[in-house]
Chains A and B, each alone.
Chain A
């Protein structure tokens, strides 16, 4: 089973995301900020990371930059999932190494469609 790390400082968002991702038959791991997420990645590199931008301690942008420096850190598909919904943020995220970008609010269909586009899921 593929694994997805859900990184968001909101417990509610993590819960919603977990439900969606488990329905897509991924095993789900949670982290509340970028630093926790990096620790989780060092323990076990996930197949996917669903990543919030604004978080305490280490934000999503710094996390993805750090992740891409890690050994095998180029492997996970990183999908931002954030309220930052302007072109400048999107461009910056992709430049930092993100693969896809979801603008909140999101739903299961959007997540599934991004997972298909990035090859995490097969089209149904």
Chain B
């Protein structure tokens, strides 16, 4: 009897302790989510009462809104290049740093430093670096390439954003380097005895051993890239300006504009659910295909 009273007391304390999360979940997540589903089926400017329109917003987005498709396409384009490229460069640099290099700490610091720069500050620096007569084009000029107008050229602005993202490859480098240090040395010793060269060892030992980490970072990186906002908002001209052709419009800035510039709250909510669907599909797809190419040590028995 006493035991069960103690148990009850324990349970009550549990609910008391987790109450901040429960309240936060109801007020800031579940409530808003339900309200967002409802809003996405209304026409609402946030001042007058919402008008029920059913699935119209979704239909309009998917069939009549070329800017939405353009923004989605740009987002895919950005994510599909920046995330794998960042990981590849990270893998390459981590492999170099994993060798017996003198001054490893210094190199690692220099490579990691850009990732500590807040996005706003990084965007400011890149605004000047990517200026038509900025240092990047100066350097390209030395080797005889006349650089593009980067942020001002609709054809190049996406690559400017990708450059900014790849500047942060240091975070992948440090993560992968830490993981590389966990690979048992015996694997390399055995390969050495078998006569495998460094390149062969890299592809047959290092890469397979790292696939769980690479995979995790790929998925997380894609999710983050789909939600890119600050650098697009800061670095690229407003979509409403003539001559930009929405070249750099991506999903979240488009959502933001719809909600907070045009007060299309219902339409913007519908965009957020489509974005969620894309992220969800992608995450599930990524997890479904893991078996095929991710190596977990526990699988080898």
Partners in one complex: no
